[in-house]
Amino acid sequence: MKYKEEFHKWLQENMQNACTVGFILSIAFFYLGVTGQFYPDETWTPKAITEIFGDYIIWILVIGVISTAAFGFYLYGIISDIREFEKLYDIPSKSEFQRNWTRLEQLARYKLPKEYRDRMAEARKKFGLK
């Protein structure tokens, strides 16, 4: 259980980086699958790599499509959460900040890295909130 908690904590801190790397690798799989399946004899096809997979290149294409969609979805979600946090956080009015407090706390605590929790602690001190 300890490893699971540590992994979850690491993943929350590094989700944006992990999704970016996964998205780039999935695009590479997608490219290999497309070129190996539909353009196997072209000069620009990486034949040395696609020939390793042989007849299973279609599965590389399927994995590439699915993983590109999944990592793209998660990356979009992370970027949307960061933008929402920034939009709600940059309000100078204390009353509006209090109105958005629950959502900001939810984003900072459960979806975004530790730096956003630290920013919420600073905002609490700035506005005199508990």
- Mean residue pLDDT across the chain: 92
Query: Residue 86: what pLDDT?
Result: 95
CB contact at 8 A, 33 and 60: yes
The per-residue pLDDT for 57 is 95
pLDDT digits over 68-104, tens only? 999 999 999 999 999 999 999 998 888 888 899 999 9
Task: Give the pLDDT of residue 81.
Answer: 96
pLDDT at 60: 96
Mean pLDDT computed over 48-68: 94
Helix (H) or strand (E) holding 82: helix 57-89
- What percentage of the chain reaches a pLDDT higher than 70? 99
Assess whether pLDDT exceeds 80 at residue 115. yes
Cα–Cα distance measured from residue 120 to residue 107, given in angstroms and rounded to the nearest whole number: 10
Number of domains in the chain: 1
Amino acid identity at 106: Q
Confidence class of residue 45 from pLDDT cuts 50, 70 and 90?
Answer: confident
Give residue 121's domain range: 2-127
**Taking the C-alpha atoms of 28, 66, 21 and 109 in order, what is their torsion angle to the nearest 10 degrees?**
170
The number of beta carbons lying within 10 Å of the beta carbon of residue 54 is: 8
